[in-house]
Amino acid sequence: MAGVDLSRQRERYEAELAQMIIDLAERIVAGAKSRVLKNLKTPKGNSSLAMSIRMEKDPGGGVRVLTDKSYARYVEFGTISQPALPFLTPAVEEVKVTFSGLIDGLN
């Protein structure tokens, strides 16, 4: 019976961790979109880059935050003639601090 209880507990923890990862990825998406909109020269309230930022589950059980806009890297890192306007890196850093706090709280 103890093996069954441990198996159920492991399954529950794995499900909770998977949901936590999805929640953190959604926070990254929201933060990145917010930064793109904040960086607009003329705030129109919409941006094809911001609208393209999304989370996808990958077949291995993880998640990815991505965009299909080829110019996103130039916005994030800049070019010779355009300064960087990071949107993804700061969003990840914010969530990284949150995740570290969650992990520290478990100890």
Q: What does the buried/exposed string (b/e) look like for 43-72 if buried means 16 or more CB atoms within 10 Å of the residue's CB? A: eeeebebbeebebeeeeeeebebebebeeb
| CA 16 – CA 79 distance, rounded (Å) | 41
Domain holding 88, by residue range, is: 2-106
* pLDDT score, position 40: 85
- pLDDT tens per residue across span 13-30: 888 888 888 989 999 999
Full-model pTM: 0.82
Tokens 């969650």 sit at which residue?
Answer: 102
| CA 26 – CA 75 distance, rounded (Å) | 21
Q: In the structure, what pLDDT confidence band is assigned to residue 32 with cuts at 50, 70 and 90? A: very high
Torsion of the alpha carbons at 29, 33, 39 and 40, rounded to the nearest 10:
160
Q: How many domains does the chain have?
A: 1
- pLDDT tens per residue across span 41-95: 776 667 999 999 999 998 887 899 999 999 999 999 999 999 999 999 999 998 8
